[in-house]
Chain A
């Protein structure tokens, strides 16, 4: 009975995994974040980290502010928001800060965020934080992507100046690829959906990719 059970369940497990894989690809966002980021360079031209400013949509901002005590109703000072900012960056750790950097094709790791704080303006919260690279790098090409692989959060580069290079060598050239301009994305979705298998990177097709080439 036991071996029979196992033999029966094995193909089911395989089949089920496939079914789950295809099912998982159909997530949708609940949170929208508009990003502006800065790439921070050291005087010697190496990249030391990324400074983010993420603005949440008003629904999530209101949700996040639930239960936060303030002196004046509707006005939130940086101090009053400090514990929430702390919570945010701690929670983000689990998701690798949704920030993925590659230096000449090699994955780079980030340290814990520093200089983080929240700002409340126009009914929206903006989370500021800096992610220092584990080790500063000086690559010919740096690729930076900001996205949620599960697409619970929709990341969008700000329309105006979504990325700035701070202290970069003059010869460096920056390119921005928004999810909207790629026709490759649709195809990628097709493949991911129907080939089953690994859909964990579903959000990648909505990725915002920034590349900086320094000759």
Chain B
């Protein structure tokens, strides 16, 4: 079988891809965590953990703990509302920088799907807005309308949480399927039927890009090296096949057909999967505000918190997208193989989304579970 060595190659590249994608996410974490912040401690009262992680944690705790006092103060002093909003905003920013799967899922999705930085920003804001909305709706219905107990509310939160994790896993699985198809087709001569079925699927976000790359490397192969070099042999072979089966130069649906004019629907899965799970902190603040007769202030705080979160997530998303662009430019220099590597990266990122979903769902990331007391 000619495709045997390709399997080995596929394996190598998938490992490489995983490493690259990990680096994207990891770089942010490691940079944040390793900055030698230890020297001058921000406050002598908070020397719990060194480094910027400890600083983030203590800052968050500070802001969060100030919220209850500020809401109380706002009852009699209107200007305290502004303080509350400022604290909420800062909390949102710090909150998203520390924990949370949202930024990881969104960044991975962006990398998998060759999205632009602008769309990354839109996705980050939309999912944060949805998170805030869900928190307000939960507390509005459970606490305000039904006067349900914390136990009931926390139960509802848990159900939504599981649903969200399930959605992320499903979303990731779909991405893997899409990306895996494209990736595999690039590596081996695949039977035409599944290839067609995949390409024909109306809302497979990644396809536009897949074919984009195809076109690119294809022309390279033809213009620069008409099948002389070994590296290009693989690719050329792949394309020959595709050409045979598609009769000429038809590469399946054009990118514009797949994306649709607005392209909004593409990212909706990501927004929904991430945004449906509210932040426990927001729920607590809302219930507290409600009990103080300041529900509106709680709602305002929740949305401002979401705004802060969105800014952080958007920043990380833009970093991820830029890193990938850089990687493409670098790998593109080595001609045909570059496209293959990029597709491997996308496949790896898709795999990460799936892993996040599965990991969250089955409790491997226990820290992100709501604790009901």
Contact = CB atoms under 8 A, between A and B. Distances in A.
Partners in one complex: yes
Majority secondary structure of chain B interface residues (helix, strand, loop or mixed): helix
Interface residues of B, number: 72
A14 to B, nearest CB: 8
Contacts of B180: 5, 8
A65 B101 CA distance: 29
A4 B284 contact: no
Contacts of B11: 7-8, 11
A27 B99 contact: yes
B29 A23 contact: yes
B198 interface: no
Contact of A91 (B143, B147, B373): B373
Contact of A92 (B33, B281, B284, B373): B373
With most chain A CB atoms within 10 A of its CB, the pick from B38, B48, B148, B367 is B367
Contact of B57 (A24, A28, A194): A28
A84 B18 CA distance: 47
A151 B150 contact: no
Q: Is the interface of A mostly helix, strand, loop or mixed?
A: helix
Contacts of B285: 59
A67 B143 contact: yes
A82 interface: no
A40 interface: no
A30 B54 contact: no
Interface string A13-46: 1011111101111111111100000000000000
A174 B65 CA distance: 32
B60 A28 contact: yes
B30 interface: yes
A151 B367 contact: yes
Contacts of A194: 30, 33-34
Q: Looking at chain A, what size class is its interface with the partner chain?
A: 35 or more
Interface string A149-168: 11111100000000000000
Contacts of A25: 53, 367
Contacts of B290: 66
A62 B288 contact: yes
Contacts of B230: none
B61 A154 contact: yes
B254 interface: no
B58 to A, nearest CB: 9
B200 interface: no
Interface of B: 7, 10-11, 14-15, 18-19, 22, 25-26, 29-30, 33-34, 38, 47-51, 53-54, 56-57, 60-61, 64-65, 67-68, 95, 98-99, 101, 104, 143, 147-153, 180, 184, 280-281, 283-285, 287-288, 290-292, 347-348, 351-352, 355-356, 359, 364-373
Q: In the A-B complex, list the 9 residue pairs whose CB atoms are closest, starting with the nearest.
A: A186-B50, A16-B355, A27-B367, A67-B149, A15-B18, A59-B68, A12-B351, A152-B371, A150-B367
Interface of A: 1, 4-5, 7-9, 11-13, 15-20, 22-32, 57-60, 62-68, 84, 87-88, 91-92, 95, 148-154, 179-180, 185-187, 189-190, 193-194, 199-200, 202, 205-206
10 contacts: A4-B7, A23-B104, A25-B53, A57-B65, A58-B288, A67-B153, A92-B373, A150-B369, A152-B280, A186-B38
